[in-house]
A and B are shown apart, each in its own frame.
Chain A
Amino acid sequence: MAEISAIGETGQRPHTGGPVLSVENLSLDFPLRTHILHAVRDVSFTLERGKTLCLVGESGSGKSVTARALMRIVDKPGRISGGTVTLNTDGNPLDVTALPDGSKEILKLRGGKIGLIFQEPMSSLSPVHTIGSQIIEVLRLHRDMSKAEARAETIELLRQVEIPKPEEMIDRYTFEFSGGMRQRAMIAMALACDPDILIADEPTTALDVTTQADILDLIKRLQTSRGMAMLLITHDLGVVAEVADEVAVMRFGRIVETGDVDTIFHAPQHPYTKRLLAATVKLEEGRKAAQGGPAEWSTPILSVREMTKVYGGGTSWFGKVPSALKAVDGVSFDLHAGENLGIVGESGSGKTTLGRLILRITEPTEGKITYRPGPGEEIDVRALSKDKLRDFHRQVRLVFQDPFASLNPRMTVKQVIADPLVVTGGMSGKAIEDKVAHFLELVGLDPLAMERYPHAFSGGQRQRIGIARALALDPKIIVADEATSALDGSIRSQILDLLLDIQRQLDLSYIFISHDISTVRYFCDRVAVMHKGKIVELDAAEKICTAPEMAYTKSLISAVPSPDPRHKRMLHRHRFQA
Chain B
Amino acid sequence: MTVNTRVLINDFTYHVPSTLAEALGFLDQYGEDAAVLAGGTDLIIQMKLGRRSPKFLVDVSKLEELKHLEAGEKILIGAGRRYMDVLPFLQGLGRYHGLAEAIDSIGKLQVLSVATVGGNLGNGSPAADTPPPLMTYDASVRVRSAHQERVVPLREFHTGPGAIVLAPNEIIVAVEFDAFPDGRASAFRKLTRVASDISKVTCAVAVERAGETCTHCRIALGAVGPTPLRARSAEAALEGREVDASAVEECARLIVEEISPIDDIRCSEKYRREAAGVLFRDAFASAWERAKC
A binds B: no
Residues on B close to A: CB < 8 A?
Answer: none
Residues on A facing B (Cβ under 8 Å): none
